[in-house]
Amino acid sequence: MADTILHRGEPFGEARPTGLWPGGLTIPASPVEHAVFWGIAGQFVFYFAGLAPVAPLLATGPVMALATVRIMRERCVPHWLPALWFACTAGVLVQLLAVFFLKGVGGWYVPGWLLTFGPAAFLPVAGAFVRKSVVFSAVAVLGIQALLYSAVAGVAVAAGLDPAYPSPIPVTRMMDPAFHSVRLTQPPEIAGDERRLVAFTPYPTSAGAAACVFALLTLGHRRSWAQALALAGWLALLALTHVRTGLVCVTLGAAIYYALLLRRRHLLLGAGVALLLAAAFTGPLLRGAELANRTLRSQRPSSSQDRANLHALAWEGWLYGGDEVLGTGASVRGGPIVRDVGIGTHDWAGANLFIRGALGFGLTLLPVAVTLVFGFFAGLAPAERLVTAVAAVLLVYTYSQELQTLYIYIWPVFLLIGGIARRTLPPVLAAPLSTA
Amino acid sequence: MNVLRSLGLILLCALLGLVLGVVGTRFMAKQYVSTADLAIDAEALASGGLARFDRVSIADSVEVPTLVQLLKSPRVSHAVATRLGLASPRVVEENLKIVNDAGSPVVKLKLAAEAAAQAQAIARGIVEEAVAIDAAKKQQRTTEAIAAVRAQLGETEKQLGALNRDIQKLNSDRGISLSSESERQQRAAMELAQLEQRLSGINVESAGLQDRMRRLQELIAALPAGRSLPAGFEIQEADKSPGLAEARTRLLEQESALASIRTRYGAQHPKVQAAEAEVAATRKALHALLLTQREIVKAQVADTDNARKIVEKKIAATEAQARQHDLSLDPAHANLLAQREAITTDYGLLTTRLSELRVFAAAHPATFYIFSPPTLPDRASLLRPAALVALATVCGALFGAGLCVRRWASAERAAGRAVHAAA
């Protein structure tokens, strides 16, 4: 257990190097790192074993439990950024309970909090105990699996094969029934003629978002064949899910990641402001933006129209529904205009305002926005730049997705947030502390 | 040890929160929840096809959202508040919860109030008011439909009367009584049939005469040439005049005898020459008789042709007369009759629709009905107390976590100060 001995004066939680696997993959050292590594790398295994309904808990539960024990044992005072994440997401839980108490609705969201907001609450704190290279390595391993999956599933779907079988876990009201079906593509009754891979998620949109974020995280891995294969895997998966936002976001995220290599951040800010002003005061930029938006929407017009309708309904419902602060607490069944999709879903800003009100909206948005600013000024290391890029991507993803749904799959990002925001203890407290 | 201490503090705070929550529930006003089920009539009479009594499934149509909106509408809550003397319609609106599973035609209503009877009364008021509004809407639509169909029936009756008058006027203008029309048509048809039959007989007779004439011509041509008569030649029944039959028999006998003695005596024998002279005389007589017969047949053919012409003229005259008196061939009359038939059909349909609408109205149609009447809750709801206890426990646990971190930070600062002081 020598690998888990911590030394005062070092950033706590940084285990000593333990060597590398082929492809520059970091070997996990501590129990928390093992939980992280296998939790990330085992996503496809969980899915095809039919454990999708409990996979988020199986993957993040041990990490959260081990990290909590370690925090208590070592009496670690967390950095203010993970503390903010914890406070905001715990605030969402309190709000859910308050709405349940006041209005008697939304009770089913309370257990769901552990799967969605739970990782966002605990994992940034747990990130202090996990080496960033372990996270990158695990994502790379998962990316190589994604490459194999994309090849096999792509060929199978092209050949007209789409095997499906139910999960052995019984369906409950707490979980979307889509989690209880194992398949390669979205069911035809939902997707129509389109064949979009779902990877280890129930929906292609979630798979695309995960592929986008994980492709960015793969950039943080050492330059090796493992990184190349993993990148190819994530990009192949992204292409086969046909997720438009994901394609835009992976480009944007990579651009931010490399742009942040510029040491003088005020120049970047200046360039951003200048671009905004140019867009506001000149025609070509605005027209270009509108053209890009129109092109993006025209790729799947019915989907864009449904999302626009859902957003409009949710937005109007929040504005005039009388639940501006706390929200309605639950989604409302949509009509034929949105193909019976619930109002307060498949959208972020409108949905959050409608269901959780201004308070829940603020509690969800605040940590993401603060992380973006923090990461921007944090440094030049890959992890810092990646956290900034992913925070920007999450803000863009608010265009079409509920963030808390994405949190189920992109939880390794929270470990990185904790990784870049950790306190360094004063050297005067340098006595070694054995955790064996 | 640290773990146990920290965990203990958090659990202690959570327990404290739980206790406070439980105590808080003692001060909460009790809530009783009355539930009722409203069901969409899975098959309702199609509004667009009342006459045919079409039944369509509307369980998964817009009717469910409509019902939910109706139950939540200010119209219903105001009516219930007024009827029950409540302080404000918000008492209804804020305590009302509607639940509907996707695809289900049943809409569940939950109404919370501080007293069980009050909860049941408000819930009953809501469902009854909603059903009454729906029934009134349907009844009004049916009444309006009946009035519209009646008006249309009156209009159709007027059109039918006008058309009948036009048809009668057309007949009277031509001096035709509508009642004798068919009899006259029948008589003309029979007369025409008889004439056609007669014409057919004449044609057959004419064909027979032509045949006879052809055969007579052949015989007449054969006899003077001295040729023998055709083998098996028979005189037809119609041509068996005594003279012709006798001459034919005699000629056959003479030719037979001539052949016999010519064989016996040779061609130059006087007996043979005498027999040849007899045959020639007989042939001449027969020829004369055939010529006479031909003249007779020719006269008969002429008579037949005359008769055919007469019959054909009569047929043409009969047809012309029939056409002159047949109104079905008159375009104006035919147009009037077609119009009358179409309007009569419309009239029948409208009459049927009116009857069905009356039946529909008598059935008191509704889009939905009370499936389960509002219940009288026998105990207070535990939902809000449970939510309060959970809320207080979570808040307590979070407070405990905050305390832990604060203690750790204080300890860290103290240790730093101690090390600094020692240095």
Contacts of A104 in chain B (CB under 8 A): 97, 112, 383-384, 387
Q: A14 φ, ψ to 5°?
A: -80, 105
Residues 210-249 (B) with a CB less than 8 A from some CB of A: none
Q: What is the pLDDT of residue B240?
A: 55
Q: Quote the distance between the C-alpha of residue B412 and its chain's center.
A: 90
User: Of A15-29, A32-46, B332-346, B351-365, where does mean pLDDT reach its minimum?
Assistant: A15-29
Q: What is the pLDDT of residue A6?
A: 38
Q: What is the pLDDT of residue A115?
A: 86
pLDDT higher than threshold 60 for residue A8: no
Give me the amino acid identity at A257: Y
All residues at 6 or more sequence positions from A49 whose CB lies less than 8 Å from its CB, including other chains: none
Is A178's Cβ below 8 Å from some Cβ in B?
no
Is A366's Cβ below 8 Å from some Cβ in B?
no
All residues at 6 or more sequence positions from A361 whose CB lies less than 8 Å from its CB, including other chains: A349, A352, A353
Query: Of A172 and A361, which is predicted with more confidence?
Result: A361
Please report, in angstroms and rounded to a whole number, the separation of the first and last CA atoms in chain A: 6
- Going by C-alpha positions, the residue among B130, B49, B64 that lies closest to residue B99 is B64
Angle between helices B2-27 and A55-74 (to 10 degrees): 110
Min Cα–Cα distance to chain B from A209, Å = 28
Query: Of B184 and A99, which is predicted with more confidence?
Result: A99
Contacts of A335 in chain B (CB under 8 A): 62, 65
Is B182's Cβ below 8 Å from some Cβ in A?
no
Q: What is the pLDDT of residue A434?
A: 38
Contacts of B5 in chain A (CB under 8 A): 72
Give me the amino acid identity at A381: A
Contacts of A333 in chain B (CB under 8 A): 65, 100, 102
- Torsion angle (degrees, nearest 10) of CA A366, A367, A370, A375: -160
Report H helices in A282-348. 283-298, 301-320
Is A76's Cβ below 8 Å from some Cβ in B?
yes
Q: What is the pLDDT of residue A432?
A: 40
Min Cα–Cα distance to chain B from A320, Å = 14
Sign for the pseudo-dihedral over CA of B319, B321, B322, B324: positive
What does the alpha-carbon distance between residue A115 and residue A92 come to, in Å, rounded to a whole number?
13
| Chain B, nearest residue to A89 by Cα | B398
Q: What is the pLDDT of residue B235?
A: 57
3-state secondary structure of B59: coil
pLDDT tens digit at each of 423 positions of chain B: 778 888 999 999 999 999 999 999 998 888 899 999 988 775 554 444 444 444 444 444 557 777 888 888 889 999 999 998 888 888 888 888 888 776 677 889 999 998 999 999 999 999 999 888 888 888 888 888 889 999 999 999 999 899 888 888 877 776 665 555 666 777 778 888 999 999 999 999 899 888 888 888 877 877 765 666 654 455 555 555 666 777 777 888 888 888 888 888 887 888 888 888 888 888 888 888 888 888 888 898 999 999 999 999 998 888 887 776 666 667 777 788 888 889 999 899 989 888 888 887 787 777 788 889 999 999 988 888 999 999 999 999 999 999 999 998 898 888 888 888 887
Report H helices in B73-180. 74-84, 90-94, 116-173
What does the alpha-carbon distance between residue B119 and residue B117 come to, in Å, rounded to a whole number?
5
Contacts of B106 in chain A (CB under 8 A): none
Q: What is the pLDDT of residue A298?
A: 67
Min Cα–Cα distance to chain A from B78, Å = 18
Judged by CB atoms closer than 8 Å, whether chains meet at A73 and B3 is answered as yes
Is A110's Cβ below 8 Å from some Cβ in B?
yes
pLDDT higher than threshold 80 for residue A365: yes
pLDDT higher than threshold 90 for residue A348: no
| Chain A, nearest residue to B385 by Cα | A101
| Chain A, nearest residue to B415 by Cα | A429
Average of pLDDT values for A35-50? Answer: 93
- Candidate from B3, B6, B416 with C-beta closest to A429: B416
Contacts of B404 in chain A (CB under 8 A): 72
Is A38's Cβ below 8 Å from some Cβ in B?
no
Q: What is the pLDDT of residue A299?
A: 63
Give me the amino acid identity at A258: Y
pLDDT higher than threshold 90 for residue A88: yes
Is A157's Cβ below 8 Å from some Cβ in B?
no
Q: What is the pLDDT of residue B42?
A: 56
| Predicted confidence band of residue A13 (pLDDT cuts 50, 70, 90) | very low
Judged by CB atoms closer than 8 Å, whether chains meet at A335 and B65 is answered as yes
Q: What is the pLDDT of residue A153?
A: 93
Is A317's Cβ below 8 Å from some Cβ in B?
no
pLDDT higher than threshold 80 for residue A280: no
What does the alpha-carbon distance between residue A332 and residue A102 come to, in Å, rounded to a whole number?
18
What does the alpha-carbon distance between residue A356 and residue A364 come to, in Å, rounded to a whole number?
10
| Chain B, nearest residue to A173 by Cα | B101
Judged by CB atoms closer than 8 Å, whether chains meet at B394 and A429 is answered as no
- Going by C-alpha positions, the residue among A201, A227, A256, A235 that lies closest to residue A409 is A201
Q: What is the pLDDT of residue A3?
A: 34
Residue with tokens 């808390």: A404
Contacts of B416 in chain A (CB under 8 A): 426, 428-429
Long-range (24+ apart) CB contacts under 8 A made by B168-174 are: B170/B327, B170/B330, B170/B332, B170/B333, B170/B336, B171/B327, B174/B327
Q: What is the pLDDT of residue B238?
A: 52
Q: What is the pLDDT of residue B182?
A: 64
Q: What is the mean pLDDT of chain A?
A: 83
Contacts of A426 in chain B (CB under 8 A): 416
Model confidence, pTM: 0.68
Judged by CB atoms closer than 8 Å, whether chains meet at A94 and B102 is answered as no
Return the residue in A64, A66, A72 with the most chain B beta carbons within 10 A, the one to mutate for interface testing.
A72
- Candidate from B6, B408, B416 with C-beta closest to A428: B416
Query: Of B159 and A175, which is predicted with more confidence?
Result: B159
Read off the pLDDT of residues A101-123 as tens digits, 9 standing for 90 and up.
Answer: 888 888 878 888 888 899 999 99
Return the residue in B25, B394, B395, B406 with the most chain A beta carbons within 10 A, the one to mutate for interface testing.
B394
Residues 390-429 (A) with a CB less than 8 A from some CB of B: 425-426, 428-429
Is B410's Cβ below 8 Å from some Cβ in A?
no
